[in-house]
Structure 1
Amino acid sequence: MALALFDLDETLIHGDCASLWSAYMARIGWVDGGDFLQRDQQLMALYSEGKLAMEDYMAFSLAPLAGRTVEEVAAQVELYIGAVIEPLFYAEARRTVQAHREQGERLLVISASAAFLVKPIAARLGIEAALAIDLEVEGGRYTGRTVGVLTYREGKVLRLANWLEAEGETLAGASFYSDSRNDLPLLKAVPRPVAVNPDAVLREHARQAGWAIVEW
C-alpha cells in the first residue's frame, strides 16, 4: 500500500514539541526556566537556519530526564499533550491525515524530535507508526543519551529505509509532508513531496521543483 509520511513540528502541529516540552518542564520545576529556555531558543534558531548539530540539542534537552523513570516521564508527557499539544493540531492536518487513511494508505510520522514525545503525539492522531530519536534506558530510567541513528536530515532517509525493509514496504506512490529545509533529503526521495507552511529555503526549492505547496 502507498505510504503517507508526515513531519511533526510545524507540519502537523503549530509549534515545536521539543521546545514546548522545555517550557512545560520549566512549569513543573524540572528545569530552571530562564537559562534553560534561553539556551533552547538559541539552539532552535540554529535549527531554523539549517545549522544545528542535533547531537548538541539532544544532549542539552535530555539532561533533565537523566535518572527519571520511563513511567514518571510518560505520565508528565500525557498531561503535557493534553494541555499543550492538543490545541495546536492544524485542522487541515487532521483532515489530510484522515483523507490518506480513507484512501487506504499507511500513515507514518517521522520526526527529528525525541520518541518519548513523538510517539504519543502521533497516537493522538490515530497514527501508530512513528520514527523519531530513540533514547537510552538503563534499569527503567533514562540516561539522557540517545541511541541509534538520529532522525534528522539524511538520518531520516536512513531510518526510513531500514523501516521500509523491516516492514516490507516501498516508497512507490508515497507522499511526505514537511515544513523544513532540513527535510529536503527525504522530500527529494519520495514521489509526492508536499511543502507545508514551508520556510523560505524549502519554499523556493519547492517552487523551482514544481512541488505542491500548502498553507495550513
Structure 2
Amino acid sequence: MDALATLPVLTSASTRPACAFFDVDNTLIRGASGFHLAKELYRRRFFRRRDIAWFAGQAIAFFLRGEDVQRVAAVRSRALGVIRGRTEAEIVEIGEEVYEQVLDSRIFPGARALVSAHLEAGHQVWLVTATPREIGELMARRLGATGAVATVAETRDGVYTGELVGDLMHGSRKAEAVRQLAERAGADLKDCAAYGDSVNDLEMLQSVGFPCAINPEPHLRVHALEERWPVRDFRRRRSGLTSGAVVAGAGAGLWGLVVLVRRFARG
C-alpha cells in the first residue's frame, strides 16, 4: 500500500512545493529520545542520584496536580544545569553513540516508510521536535530528511551555558516553525502534511492541509476522529503510560531526566 495513500494531494502530479513535518518522540520512534540520551549521560556521571530524587519529586507533583508553568521552568533549568560547562562536541559524540546503539532500532518501520515516501515524492521533510537539537539534527541526517528544528541549548565557544535559546520547541512554537519552514520552501500549508502523537502537536497538525495522528495519545485520538483525520498506530504493544508520555507531560522532554526515576531509583 502506498505510504501516502491517505494524502491524495501529495501523491498527485502537482508540481507545487510541499513539506512534511514530523514530531519525533512516539511518532517516529518508540518512546522518548531524550530519555536514552539522559540514560547515557547518567552512566557517564553527568549527574547524581540526588538529581534523580529531585526529578522524581517533580514527576510526582505533575501526576498529582498537573502541569504548572513554574514547575516546568524549574525542571528545564535543572536539566540544563546538567550540561552546563560541557562541550557541544561531547554531547554530539554521545548522541551519535546513542543513535547507533538504541534510537535507530526504535524507529517505527511505518514512520520510516512515510519519511521515505515523502522524500521520493520530492517533498521537503522536517523533524519538528522538543528533543535537543543535537538529537533532532542527527536523526534528520540519518533519515535523509531535509533538516530538523528542535530545542536549542545555548553555547558559547562550543560550551553549554545552561540556558536555552528561545523556549522548548512544542505547542505554538511548533506551529510557528512549520509556518516559517513552509514559507521558506515556497509551499502553501494547505499542500503540506504533519504527523504527531500528542495534543502538544495539535497546533502544528491544525496548521496544515493534511494532518495525520500517529500512535496518538487518547486526547489526540478523540480529536483526530472527530475531525476525520487519518490515524495510524505503528506500535506492536501498548501500555497505559509510556516514558515519552511522562517526559512530554511533565514538560521535561529536553533531556528526559524525569523518566530515569523508573530505571535508577533503586540502583
TM-score, normalised to structure 1's length?
0.89
- Do the aligned partners of residues 84 and 33 (structure 1) sit closer, same or farther apart at CA in structure 2, a change above 3 Å counting? farther
The answer as to whether partners of 1:150 and 1:156 remain within 8 angstroms in 2 is no
- Do the aligned partners of residues 7 and 161 (structure 1) sit closer, same or farther apart at CA in structure 2, a change above 3 Å counting? same
The answer as to whether partners of 1:194 and 1:212 remain within 8 angstroms in 2 is yes
- Do the aligned partners of residues 41 and 76 (structure 1) sit closer, same or farther apart at CA in structure 2, a change above 3 Å counting? farther
Aligned to 1:125: 143
Shift of residue 44, structure 1, vs aligned partner? 10
Segments of 5+ residues of structure 2 without an aligned counterpart are: 1-16, 235-267
Amino acid across the alignment from 2:140: A
Shift of residue 91, structure 1, vs aligned partner? 0.8
Aligned to 2:122: 104
Is 1:85 the equivalent of 2:111?
no
Shift of residue 128, structure 1, vs aligned partner? 3.1
The answer as to whether partners of 1:22 and 1:61 remain within 8 angstroms in 2 is no
* 27-36 or 74-83: bigger deviation: 27-36
Shift of residue 159, structure 1, vs aligned partner? 2.4
Deviation readout 1:98-134 (Å, 9 max, x if unpaired): 1111111110110011111111022111113111111
**Which residue among 161, 168, 178 is the counterpart of 2:196?**
178
- Do the aligned partners of residues 163 and 58 (structure 1) sit closer, same or farther apart at CA in structure 2, a change above 3 Å counting? farther
Shift of residue 64, structure 1, vs aligned partner? 1.5
Percent of aligned positions with the same letter in both sequences?
A: 30
Deviation readout 1:167-201 (Å, 9 max, x if unpaired): 43331311111111111111111111101110000
- Do the aligned partners of residues 50 and 129 (structure 1) sit closer, same or farther apart at CA in structure 2, a change above 3 Å counting? farther
Structure label with greater radius of gyration: 2
CA–CA distance in structure 1, aligned partners of residues 231 and 21 of structure 2: 16
**Which residue among 150, 160, 163 is the counterpart of 1:145?**
163
Shift of residue 38, structure 1, vs aligned partner? 7.0
Segments of 5+ residues of structure 1 without an aligned counterpart are: none
Shift of residue 57, structure 1, vs aligned partner? 3.9
- Do the aligned partners of residues 50 and 176 (structure 1) sit closer, same or farther apart at CA in structure 2, a change above 3 Å counting? farther
Residues paired across the two proteins, number: 215
Aligned to 2:26: 10
Aligned to 2:227: 209
State how 1:194-205 maps to structure 2 within 5 Å: 194-205=212-223
Aligned to 1:31: 47
- Do the aligned partners of residues 52 and 190 (structure 1) sit closer, same or farther apart at CA in structure 2, a change above 3 Å counting? farther
Shift of residue 12, structure 1, vs aligned partner? 0.4
For CA contacts below 8 A with separation 6 or more, give which structure has more relative contact order. 2
